[in-house]
Amino acid sequence: MRCNMIHKVFGWIGGYLKVRIQGKRIERFVNLCRNRNIVLWQLCWDTNQEILYFRISLKDFYRLRPMARKCKVHPIVVKRYGLPFLLGHMKKRASFCLGVAGCFALVLFLSTRIWGISVEGQSYHTKESILEYLDSIDIYGGIDSKTLECARLEEQIRQKFNDIGWVSVEKKGSKIYIRVREVLLVEKDKKKQPGHLIAQQNGRVVSIVTRSGTAKVKAGDRVKKGDVLISGAVKIYGDNQELVEKKYVHAEGTVILSVQKNYQDTLEKEYQKKVYTGRTKKIYELQLGEMNFFCYNPLKNLETFEKYDIIREGGQFCPLLSLRFPAKGYVKTFREIEYQKAVYSEKEARKILKERLKYYLKQKKEAGYLLEKKEAVLETEGKAYQYQGTLVFYKEQNKYKMTRKK
């Protein structure tokens, strides 16, 4: 068993054959091979057909001719094994073998590069802003992984972004995993100047809580724009109720006003409706650096379109891989349109005007207004629809007026 394994291993390098011979002097043939130190192994005798099968090295096979003539036998090769025959097959398929070798070389080269950057845990900073910074310090898809130092990159990110309190950079295979935790930076309060808290608009006081200063109004009072809500002047009285001192501070407190606003929006009944004719033209654009290449069907002439919409789809190839990747691809679709006169129905007008009101309320909410009450109706006036009514908001006051010491 051990001898067979040695023959297989070392014989494969030089090549070996499976041979069969047939005749009446097979035993003499085997003895002659033994006397001349020609090694035969895995001998198998077929009694019915009087055929001997054996394996022999390629080098020794060429030495069999004298013995075969003496014994009048003819060695026939049944099967070939080993590296020399494998190389012979590979020569016939040189292009395939070169392709396989090139593929392995390419995979080996690509395995030494970074081909992906993952950013997780950020909320204030966008993924794109972090990738742009990494690109500015030469960390991008395609760099040699040996040049990447995770500890140094962590320090660079913390120095660049002050609000990132913790960062972890981990390299797994051909990808970088960046995990961050942002912290809320507390700004130092600037020195507050003495002043009054005043009303920003007309309204009714819903609630008032004074933390410093003197309250000038109470819940339920109506105020006008510019009225003092909390005064920054604080009077200090002595034991006999005499004014001892008048101190000026920065008025602080929470004052909520109920503010009423009249809302009105108009929508014309007649409008120009956009209708697509179904005729389109596509142009394929490829950007390589500063060069642009276009591909389109010359039979479809764009000049025959009087009016059209343009839809541009695409962008940078592999944007998550590297911002330096110079190739961009776009598909521009030109769709011919026509404008036809149309009239809004009451249902369509109500839907459009409600969407406008919804957007208006969203803007007011972002400005600090909290909706308390909404009353709006749709009316028809001549050639237009009107959506009007009254909106009531809660608004915290935060406008100040500096005091003048007397």
Residues 95, 101: Cα–Cα separation, whole Å = 10
Residues 214, 194: Cα–Cα separation, whole Å = 12
pLDDT in tens, 106-129: 888 888 888 888 888 888 888 888
What integer is the mean pLDDT of 209-230?
A: 90
In the prediction, which pLDDT does 352 show? 92
In the prediction, which pLDDT does 204 show? 92
User: Is it the case that residue 192 has pLDDT exceeding 50?
Assistant: yes
In the prediction, which pLDDT does 303 show? 65
Four-residue CA torsion sign, 133, 138, 141, 145: negative
What integer is the mean pLDDT of 365-378?
A: 88
Among the listed ranges 292-296, 330-334, 359-363, which one has the minimum average pLDDT value? 292-296
- First-to-last C-alpha distance (Å) of the chain: 115
In the prediction, which pLDDT does 257 show? 93
The per-residue pLDDT of the chain, averaged, comes to 84
Run of H or E including 1: none
Residues 294, 332: Cα–Cα separation, whole Å = 10
Using the structure block, give the residue that is written with the tokens 């407190």: 253
In the prediction, which pLDDT does 173 show? 84
User: Is it the case that residue 321 has pLDDT exceeding 70?
Assistant: no
Confidence of residue 190 (pLDDT cuts 50, 70, 90): very low
Tokens of 122: 């950020």
CB burial of residue 45 (10 Å; 0-12, 13-18, 19+): exposed
3-state class (DSSP) for residue 317 = coil
- Architecture of the domain whose range is 2-87: 2-Layer Sandwich (3.30)
3-state class (DSSP) for residue 286 = strand
Q: What is this structure's pTM?
A: 0.53
Per cent of the chain over pLDDT 70 is 90
pLDDT in tens, 45-66: 887 777 889 988 888 888 888 8
Residue 349 falls in which region: left (phi positive, over 0), alpha (psi -120 to 50) or beta: alpha
Confidence of residue 147 (pLDDT cuts 50, 70, 90): confident
Backbone angles phi, psi at 383, to 5 degrees: -100, 20
pLDDT in tens, 9-59: 667 777 888 899 887 888 888 888 888 888 888 888 887 777 889 988 888
The CATH fold of domain 117-182 = Ubiquitin-like (UB roll) (3.10.20)
